[in-house]
Amino acid sequence: MKLNIATLAAVTLALAAFAWISQDLPWTAWRIAGAAIAIPAFLLFAVARMQLGNAFSVQAKATMLVTRGIYSRIRNPIYVFGGLTIAGFMIWAHRPWLLLIFVILLPLQINRSRKEEQVLEEKFGEEYVEYKRKTWF
């Protein structure tokens, strides 16, 4: 529960900082598009992190299989929405060339998710295989 409160506090502070930084900037098409991607993605990232609860780990561990909420549709919503948040921010900042970072980031995240899948499948077996069939990435 402490981690979820810390996550909620971090999200609130990040959104407040974003609002403060952007209050005097002109809202160009780039900024509107970037914000339209980054803000919902960041909120979904935070929800996914809170739904993960105590199962969250930096290293691939299998303490519990989370299959509710966002995890009922997407196996790795933190990766998906984290990437979209970064992409949205890069667009918002008028730095679309920074999206080239995804040339590096995407394969790393895919590799990391595969390692996690191996650990989860070893621990949960057929239950994880069935969960994997019903979800995306």
Give the CA dihedral 104, 67, 65, 103, nearest 10 degrees: 0
Give the closest residue to 87 by CA, choosing from 123, 41, 126, 24: 41
pLDDT tens for residues 60-99? Answer: 677 788 999 999 999 999 999 999 998 998 898 888 788 8
Domain regions of the chain by residue span: 2-134
Integer Cα distance of 98 and 15 in angstroms? 22
Does the model's pTM come out above 0.75? yes
- What are 8-65's pLDDT values in tens digits? 788 788 878 877 887 888 989 999 999 999 999 999 998 998 898 877 665 667 778 8
